[in-house]
Amino acid sequence: MNNGKLVSIKQVADRLLQNPVMSDVTWEFIVSNAVECMRIVGTKPMFVSATETIEIKNFRGELPINMIKLVSAMKVEPNGLVPMSSNEDTMAAHYGSFPSAPTGVYGDKYSLNNSKIFPTFETGKVVLVYDTIATDEECFPLIPDNPELLRAIRLYIRYQWFDILNDMDKISGQKLNKAETEYAYAVGQAQSNLQMPSEDEMETLVNSITQILPSRTQHADRFRFLGKQEFMKVQ
């Protein structure tokens, strides 16, 4: 499980460089493969939540360059934020190309396409809540302080480096296969460990699936009450 603490990628690099076979590994190689492994593992504790307000012009806006996954989108109104829902309209990304484009008649919805967001209104502002990879002051990735995850990232980088050395006939295929097997096992351990909910998360999960009357309006409340315990009043 994730304890909430983050550590620098330098901790992984220090361990890797202790191996004489990896003395020539560059920082660029370590960082790029560490990020790739983090996205392969891809569980929620891997990322941090971030927000950004974007401008909408001609039914479109630019998504944040560091966004991994969009969590929610809310339209900025004079009286506050209004939650938006996903748009299933097949013309959603082309509203600005036709005079008959809708202007919010069907409610505040959005779709994503080609690093852009396409809401159903022509101009305005949207607040995005999204998952991203945390970075330190030097823009190096920060990693959850989870032993299984750190080991998986370290072994993935080693496997990728051994693959290059094997292509250059500097190490045997047997060593490459061993590195791949160890990496694959470590990733499975990391995913299982990160997906294990805490006691608080388990209670919230139980409350959300044992509701007396399931709500169909959680989206409008930003799911704030999804895990709230319900009681039946008996007279």
Round to whole Å and give the CA distance between 80 and 74: 9
What pTM value is reported for the model? Answer: 0.69
CB 144 within 8 A of CB 153: no
Residues 147-170: pLDDT tens digits?
899 999 999 999 999 999 999 999
198 pLDDT band, cuts 50/70/90, is low
Residues 61-113: pLDDT tens digits?
999 998 988 988 999 999 888 888 887 777 777 777 765 555 544 568 888 98
Please, what is the angle between helix 27-41 and helix 173-195, to 10°? Answer: 50
Residues paired with residue 7 on neighbouring β-strands, in sequence order: 143
Supply the pLDDT for residue 146: 86
In the predicted model, what is the mean pLDDT of residues 46-56? 90
CB 66 within 8 A of CB 115: no
Quick one: CA dihedral 38, 41, 47, 53, positive or negative?
positive
Supply the pLDDT for residue 64: 94
Supply the pLDDT for residue 151: 92
Residue 69: count other Cβ atoms within 10 Å of its Cβ: 10
CB 206 within 8 A of CB 187: no
pLDDT at residue 142 is higher than 70: yes
pLDDT at residue 221 is higher than 80: no
Supply the pLDDT for residue 189: 87
When the pLDDT of each residue in the chain is averaged and rounded to a whole number, the result is 83
Supply the pLDDT for residue 167: 94
